[in-house]
Chains A and B, each alone.
Chain A
Amino acid sequence: MNLEYGPKYQDFTKEVQSFCKKYEGISFTDGSNNPLGSSGGSGGPQMSRSEWQKILIENGFFARSVPKEYGGYGGEEDILKSRIIATEFSKSKIPGAMGGQGIDMLVPTLLEMGTEEQKQAYIEPTLYGEMIWCQGYSEPNAGSDLASLQTKGELVGDEWIINGQKIWTSTAQYSQMCFCLVRTEPDAPKHAGISYLLIPMDTPGIEIRPLVDMTLKAGFNEVFFTDVKIPASNIVGKRGEGWAVANATLGHERGSLAPPDATMNRVNMLMQLMKEETLDGKPLIEHPIYRDRLMQIQGKVLAQQSHALRLLSAKLNPGTDVKIGKMIQKLTGTELRHELEGLAIDVMGEVGTLYEDSPHLRNDGTWQFIYMYFLGLIIGGGTSQIQKNIIAERGLGMPKEPKVERA
């Protein structure tokens, strides 16, 4: 066991720290589309989000290992440096780069499997926040059983003609582009009949209907495709390989939904709140039952933080076996965050139910919002039950459910 990063990284840490100091209190002149994204602090420099994005890339604090020719920083992939950047930004409350499904999922996919033309055309504007993407995967009848999706793509001449419907499409209303799973080989077995297509959202025949969720804030959409025509070249990988292309990055999404360091920040916020708020004249933290519940959760988060260090170490030291360790991330991370936010509501009692712009909100009403938002994350990206199937079948080698014959 050695938790030191070494001298090379001490210098790098100092470099990041002095950058953070320079931009302390930075705030944005334009808002954020992501309800969980930071809108910045106060008292520091002011700029637009895209200006900030540019500064981050130029300094190698974002898109660090994306090659220069595609608009990245062009540095070596370095897991420890990425972690140092995240840690120092979080410590000094400096907002990180814009995220979103284009940056998190499409860019890694194109880097791995895209054609040269696709890399040239899409990566740079996506990194700079000029091209926003939405993910067209789920359908009304293809949720947990995603591979049964039915949106149809037909190659006629040099164009794909697309018909069907997608659902749970976050940010569709702001997006220029959609990376979409479409059934192009209707006669092939279900996993082998899917292609990964890139669809401009201003193509005629696309209709977007907002789908309001229980938070009344975050925005999903339904997206309808009626004879939507796109160039035949807008495909990543070959025809019928879409499932493999999508899976190359799905694991990435699952792992990053609920990082334990962020959850621990919320634990600390809650502890602070419990010291300030009183019940019957006594701080909440002095009520033994509430205190014990907080300590229980603190212990769980601590375990996940240590576990994250173990996974980090496994990336740095190939050959370490953490197969199940990686599979549990989505399940345990999202469930724990939901539990923590729920505890905050419990300790506040009626006050914990205040919402939106009500008077007497605590921490801007974030506890109630994130409590509900994380229920969405427990379900989305593969429900907790699907995660348990994956852990049991792929991790523990347990037998699959017998297939039901098609009627």
Chain B
Amino acid sequence: MYFGLSEEQSFFQDNVKKYLEEHATIDKIKHIVSDDKNNLSAEIHQGLLNLGINGLLIPEEFGGLELDLLFAASVSEALGGGVSPTPFVAPYVMAPTAIKHAGSKIQQENYLSKIASNEYRFGVGFSEFIGKRNDTGITFSDNKLNGRAMFALDANDATHLLLANEKGEIFVTETKSSNMEIVNLTTVDKTRQYSEVICKNLEAEMLENSSVSEEPILKAIDAGRIMLAADSIGASQTMVNKAVDYAKERKQFGRPIGSFQAVKHMCAEMAADLEPCYALVWHAAHCHDHSPLEARFMACHAKAHVSEISKGIAKKSTEVHGGMGFTDLLGLHYWFKRIGLNRQILGSPELVREEAYRTQI
């Protein structure tokens, strides 16, 4: 019996961490978010592609590494820890998972092998299935898509998008089509891309098995939720570490502020809240591949619980830093905002907990 990351997983995770520490410094991130014409994000992304992040979940027969979701979760932790300004959840986790479960053999062959070879990159827009707001939504008839999908993930530099309608049917579309308009949405989190996708008679191909049941799209959403939870753990851990380091150094009233119980107890609470999150997310990732009966239940709880804990840590860590925590100078807010987005996308805590309940009846 062994519960935790394997040696390979820890090793790969360390490599991603080291790479980001070197190449995605806070100065570069500030540069990336303030100027959308620079190429820095693509350069950082290329470095991660060199490590092989696009092929993690793709079966060997299609040229991938065929690793399990826990492996991807360990990577996601590292990306969140370094607020990596690169796509991951949509192109390398949700899209491969959706295509693997919903695609016909031919569709799998077509798309998975090209994700592995980095010829295709997918963005994902499933928000209308998870929780349709107001007048958004997509309809499919005569092989054409019409309507709007909100908060599509990683759509800008993608060659293809997976879009879903309310029934959970999944469609492959090409971003180069003139019948698709991608509108950038500016959120507080500028380290990742969120878009509105407008389709007007857009040519689309349905992933064959996605009309049979909701299983495939739920599988992809669960995988995405576990990744977001892992990303938030990484971001939270960085925020805890920064708060602890700051509290040891910063002096007021002639002593380090970390010697005051008001401050050190906040740090202890953050650590005590965060520590069990690792096990929950690893366990959920493990169940996703190896324990189908518990998989949905675990994924929903992992997403909801980590969202709550991370929100608390984002606030407390900022407070421990005092006024400096509030500044752009320190840049702590990039982690705060990353956690804020992870909480809302693919289902906010109340919605996801309700799903967790539904799996039990």
Name A395's contact: one of B2, B271, B279 (CB within 8 Å).
B271
Q: In angstroms, how far is the closest chain B Cβ from the Cβ of A253? A: 18
**Given A1-B282, A389-B268, A398-B244: A295 touches B357 (CB 8 Å cut-off):** yes
Residue of A nearest to B256 (CB): A399
Residue of A nearest to B9 (CB): A1
Does A36 sit at the interface, judged by CB under 8 A?
Answer: no
Q: In angstroms, how far is the closest chain B Cβ from the Cβ of A405? A: 15
The answer on a CB contact under 8 Å between B3 and A310 is yes
Chain A positions within 8 Å of B276 at CB level: 303-304, 306-307, 328, 332
The answer on a CB contact under 8 Å between B280 and A302 is yes
**Given A80-B1, A300-B305, A302-B280: A389 touches B261 (CB 8 Å cut-off):** yes
The answer on a CB contact under 8 Å between A328 and B247 is no
Residue of A nearest to B353 (CB): A295
The answer on a CB contact under 8 Å between A316 and B1 is yes
Interface centre among B268, B305, B356 (most CB of A within 10 A): B268
Chain A positions within 8 Å of B260 at CB level: 401
Does A291 sit at the interface, judged by CB under 8 A?
Answer: yes
Q: In angstroms, how far is the closest chain A Cβ from the Cβ of B24? A: 26
A392 to B276: give the CA distance in the assembly, Å: 16
Chain B positions within 8 Å of A309 at CB level: 3, 279, 283
Q: Which of A166-174, A317-325, A351-359, A361-369 touches B?
A: A317-325
Interface centre among A306, A313, A391, A401 (most CB of B within 10 A): A306
Chain A positions within 8 Å of B248 at CB level: 397-399
The answer on a CB contact under 8 Å between B3 and A313 is yes
Does B292 sit at the interface, judged by CB under 8 A?
Answer: no
Does B265 sit at the interface, judged by CB under 8 A?
Answer: yes
Q: How does the 8 Å CB contact mask read for B251-293 relative to A, with 1 for contact and 0 for none?
A: 0000110111100110111011101111110110010001000
**Given A324-B271, A389-B268, A395-B268: A1 touches B353 (CB 8 Å cut-off):** no
Q: How does the 8 Å CB contact mask read for B108-123 relative to A, with 1 for contact and 0 for none?
A: 0000000000000000
The answer on a CB contact under 8 Å between A391 and B268 is yes
Q: In angstroms, how far is the closest chain A Cβ from the Cβ of B73? A: 10
Q: How does the 8 Å CB contact mask read for B1-32 relative to A, with 1 for contact and 0 for none?
A: 11111100000000000000000000000000
The answer on a CB contact under 8 Å between A1 and B4 is yes
Interface centre among B275, B282, B350 (most CB of A within 10 A): B275
Range of interface residues on chain B? 35 or more
A33 to B5: give the CA distance in the assembly, Å: 44
Residue of A nearest to B277 (CB): A303
A280-323 CB contacts (< 8 Å) to partner B: 288, 291-292, 295-296, 298-300, 302-304, 306-307, 309-310, 312-314, 316-317, 320
A342 to B268: give the CA distance in the assembly, Å: 24
Chain A positions within 8 Å of B2 at CB level: 1-2, 313, 316-317
Q: Which of A3-11, A215-223, A240-248 touches B?
A: A3-11
Residue of B nearest to A332 (CB): B272
Name A306's contact: one of B268, B279, B308 (CB within 8 Å).
B279
The answer on a CB contact under 8 Å between B275 and A328 is yes
The answer on a CB contact under 8 Å between B356 and A399 is no
Does A400 sit at the interface, judged by CB under 8 A?
Answer: yes
A398 to B247: give the CA distance in the assembly, Å: 8
A402 to B255: give the CA distance in the assembly, Å: 9
Name B356's contact: one of A271, A298, A303, A396 (CB within 8 Å).
A298
Does B301 sit at the interface, judged by CB under 8 A?
Answer: yes
The answer on a CB contact under 8 Å between A310 and B268 is no
Does B145 sit at the interface, judged by CB under 8 A?
Answer: no
Interface centre among B271, B272, B286, B360 (most CB of A within 10 A): B272
B39-85 CB contacts (< 8 Å) to partner A: 70
**Given A324-B271, A399-B258: A295 touches B1 (CB 8 Å cut-off):** no
Name A399's contact: one of B3, B255, B279 (CB within 8 Å).
B255
Residue of A nearest to B297 (CB): A302
The answer on a CB contact under 8 Å between A324 and B275 is yes
The answer on a CB contact under 8 Å between A399 and B259 is yes
Which 7 interchain pairs have the tightest Cβ spacing? A313-B3, A306-B279, A388-B268, A299-B305, A392-B264, A307-B276, A295-B353
A-B contact pairs, 30 of them (CB 8 A): A1-B286, A3-B1, A80-B1, A271-B360, A291-B354, A292-B350, A295-B304, A298-B356, A299-B304, A299-B308, A302-B280, A303-B305, A306-B279, A307-B280, A309-B283, A310-B278, A310-B279, A313-B3, A324-B275, A388-B269, A389-B268, A392-B264, A393-B264, A396-B244, A396-B268, A397-B244, A398-B258, A399-B259, A401-B259, A402-B259
Q: Which residues of B contact A (CB under 8 A)?
A: 1-6, 70, 244, 247-248, 255-256, 258-261, 264-265, 267-269, 271-273, 275-280, 282-283, 286, 290, 298, 301, 304-305, 308, 350, 353-354, 356-357, 360
A3-B3, A307-B280 provided; 17 other pairs, C-beta below 8 A?
A: A1-B3, A291-B357, A296-B304, A299-B280, A299-B301, A299-B308, A320-B4, A324-B272, A328-B276, A332-B273, A332-B276, A385-B261, A389-B264, A391-B271, A399-B255, A399-B259, A402-B255
